[in-house]
Amino acid sequence: MSIWGKVAVAGVYEHPTRYAPDKTQYQIHAESARGALEDAGLTLKDVDGLFTSGVGPIGILSLAQHLTLRPCYMDSQAIGGSSFVSHCLHAAAAIDAGLCSVALVTYGSLASSERFAVGTGGGFLGDPPDNFEGPFGPTIVGSYAMVAQRHMHEYGTTSEQLAEIAVTMRRHAGMNPQAKYRDPITVEDVLASRIISSPLHLLDCCIISDGGGALVLTSAARARDLRKPPVVILGGAEAVQHHGIGRRDLLDIAARQSGPLAFQRAGLKHADVDMCMVYDSYTITVLATLEALGFCKPGEGGAFCSAGRIGLGGALPLNTDGGGLSSNHPGMRGIFLVIEATKQLRGEKGAAQVKNAEIALCHGTGGMLGQRHSGVTLLLGRA
């Protein structure tokens, strides 16, 4: 008895804001919830499962109060930006098990208007591993940069190849009226932007925006009677990677564990995937993730991402909304991966539509790629 194919994403909403000093974080949660429930043709009264992240240790209780919800299932998974992709897996299991019937996932953040230094701030939590890292000044971008440096050393990957990923995301953002940055950029622009943490330049890094979004999940059977075509969860898996006792290969990332498991659970092959939504916190994140998921061999990511393959019209369009590199990144981008994939599978994307998109892969990365991070892979399909 598996849960795969039995639970659907029935409603999605991406908050249009990219800068909202006139709003609160919880307001963005609520406005996003309204949008996703309206998209599904459901109301707040139907919700009996609540999922969120980025709200503080018992913040989900505050969110329940703010929405006046009394759910019988709650999950405030906190594994970084991938948390919302993980919520979809957890909601699928909970709905199939009968623990809840309508799951609402919400996200809201004012990272931009509160001038929160997402990738280049301090961040010392005092957990055991932090004591052996924090004193030396790791930043989030620095952690990813060490993966990029090692990748360049082992495989000869170039800054030009990484830059091409940023250029492609910007091209996609040009087709998204809500994207924060829409003007085209070139490889030369990326290379000319200042170094934040070598070898990563400013334009290798995701932007910082405000924003939020919401998802509504329910059984595939119930979703068939709702407003929009259901998008079903065909398979998925989550993983964590870390240095353990100090032996880690920096290029062995969590996606190498979650990817094959997700494909196996869905009974799908890479060739079945029509498009990808891959967390693009940095250009290296995309390259390393595609390799780890098995779309190309280790070391071939640079060549794989060039020549238009991951652009709209290419063999494997990726981040068709412009991604975190150009559209929006309020700190934890995972929810937008599922929102965009759902819109693509419904055929709602107009000029940015991937033709005949039937299967989409989402992969969220959370935490610090060169230290501790999560990876969650989700395979979605038309019902």
- Single out the segment in contact with other proteins by CB under 8 A; choices: 167-175, 195-203, 310-318, 327-335: 195-203
> Among all chains, which residue has been given the structure tokens 């068709």?
320
Pairwise CA distance, residues 8 & 92, whole Å: 8
By CB under 8 A, the residues from 96 to 125 that bind other proteins are 117, 120-124
Pairwise CA distance, residues 141 & 121, whole Å: 10
Is position 197 an interface residue for other proteins (rule: CB under 8 A)? yes
DSSP-derived secondary structure letter, 79: B
Please state the separation of Cα 376 from the chain's center in Å.
Answer: 9
How many Cβ atoms sit within 10 Å of the Cβ of residue 5? Answer: 17
Which CB sits closer to other proteins, 146 or 359?
Answer: 146
Pairwise CA distance, residues 306 & 375, whole Å: 24
Which of 21, 57, 98, 137 binds other proteins (CB under 8 A)? It is 137
Contact 332, 81 (CB under 8 A): yes
- Single out the segment in contact with other proteins by CB under 8 A; choices: 40-48, 61-69, 191-199, 221-229: 191-199
Question: Which x/- pattern, by CB under 8 A, does the window 234-253 give for other proteins?
Answer: ---------xxxxxx-x---
Which CB sits closer to other proteins, 204 or 340?
Answer: 204
Which CB sits closer to other proteins, 200 or 273?
Answer: 200
Which CB sits closer to other proteins, 12 or 145?
Answer: 145
Smallest gap, in angstroms, from Cβ of residue 152 to other proteins?
A: 8
Which CB sits closer to other proteins, 46 or 133?
Answer: 133
Smallest gap, in angstroms, from Cβ of residue 156 to other proteins?
A: 12
Pairwise CA distance, residues 77 & 52, whole Å: 7
Contact 286, 329 (CB under 8 A): no
Which of 57, 98, 183, 194 binds other proteins (CB under 8 A)? It is 194
Token pair for residue 290?
């595609």
Residue of 164, 138, 134 whose CA lies nearest to 284: 164
Footprint on this chain of other proteins (rule: CB under 8 A): 117, 120-124, 126, 128-139, 141-142, 145-147, 149-150, 153, 194-200, 243-248, 250, 370-371
